[in-house]
């Protein structure tokens, strides 16, 4: 298989397989979660200001007071790479075109120079967060194979995409094919790893806030 055949396969059959596994995996995981059910809480609700699902989403989405100063790498690095990753994925013109081809949805893109800068900053933030996890004994002890694996799955599409755009390391055709392949691997494993929090983070926070809000507890 030559370079063009490899690129054609990952853009065609490979992408179809990855998207199919991704969609089916996400639907299955969501079905598992929302079909669990929960017994009705018969206790009388307590009306406490700020104790609700929506308040919890907001509170859990910003750093607790004093924690940025106490653990700057975790919070600043974490917010930087999450926001940067969202910008690169959803506001880069070729990515928007792919989404349009798959779903019919489209929106304006940001300038490629800005996306390039955001990509570099995002990769740097991920490396800093990784180094902090390795260098801190407690974080290193609590980390599992899944943590290292999901970091790699997330980092490789950024790295290979940036190298492809910059025409570095390998011929453009090969690097583009590797970039698409890394994205496909991310799609395949996302529903079955910790990366699935992308679909559950706000729902779980709302549910936690709702349950505790019923008891009059703000979390």
Q: Report the pLDDT value the prediction gives residue 77, as an integer from 0 to 100.
A: 93
Angle at 36 between CA 145 and CA 22, to 5 degrees: 50
Least confident of 8-12, 34-38, 45-49, 58-62: 45-49
Tell me the pLDDT tens digit for each residue of 109-120: 999 999 999 999
pLDDT class of 215 with cuts at 50, 70, 90:
confident
Average pLDDT in the chain: 90
> DSSP string covering 105-169, please?
---PPPPHHHHHHHHHHHHHHHHHHHHHHHHSHHHHHH--HHHHHHHHHHHHHHHHHHHHHHT-S
DSSP single-letter state for residue 170: S
Contact between 52 and 209 under an 8 Å Cβ cutoff? The reply is yes
Q: Report the pLDDT value the prediction gives residue 76, as an integer from 0 to 100.
A: 93
Tell me the pLDDT tens digit for each residue of 148-185: 999 999 999 999 999 999 999 999 999 999 999 999 99
pLDDT at 37 over 80: no
Q: Rounded to a whole number, what is the distance in angstroms from the first to the last CA of the chain?
A: 56
In a 10 Å sphere around its CB, with 0-12 CB exposed, 13-18 middle and 19+ buried, how is residue 213 labelled?
buried
Q: Report the pLDDT value the prediction gives residue 195, as an integer from 0 to 100.
A: 94
pTM recorded for the entire structure:
0.89
Contact between 181 and 10 under an 8 Å Cβ cutoff? The reply is yes
Domain architecture of the chain: domains with CATH: 3-31+65-206 (1.20.950.20)
């Amino acid at each position: 298989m030559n370079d063009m055949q490899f690129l054609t396969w990952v853009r065609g059959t490979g992408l179809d397989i990855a998207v199919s596994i991704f969609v089916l995996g996400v639907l299955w995981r969501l079905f598992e979660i929302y079909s669990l059910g929960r017994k009705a809480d018969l206790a009388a609700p307590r009306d406490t200001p700020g104790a609700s699902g929506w308040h919890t989403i907001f509170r859990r989405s910003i750093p607790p007071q004093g924690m940025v100063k106490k653990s700057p790498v975790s919070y600043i690095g974490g917010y930087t790479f999450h926001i940067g990753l969202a910008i690169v994925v959803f506001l880069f013109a070729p990515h928007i075109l792919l989404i349009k081809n798959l779903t019919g949805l489209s929106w304006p893109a940001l300038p490629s120079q800005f996306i390039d800068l955001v990509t570099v900053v995002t990769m740097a933030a991920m490396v800093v967060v990784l180094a902090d996890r390795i260098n801190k004994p407690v974080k290193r002890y609590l980390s599992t194979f899944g943590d290292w694996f999901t970091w790699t799955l997330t980092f490789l599409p950024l790295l290979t995409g940036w190298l492809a755009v910059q025409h570095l390391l390998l011929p453009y055709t090969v690097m583009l094919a590797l970039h698409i392949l890394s994205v496909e691997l991310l799609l395949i494993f996302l529903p079955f790893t910790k990366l699935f929090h992308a679909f559950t983070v706000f729902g779980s926070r709302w549910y936690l806030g709702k349950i505790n809000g019923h008891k009059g507890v703000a979390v």
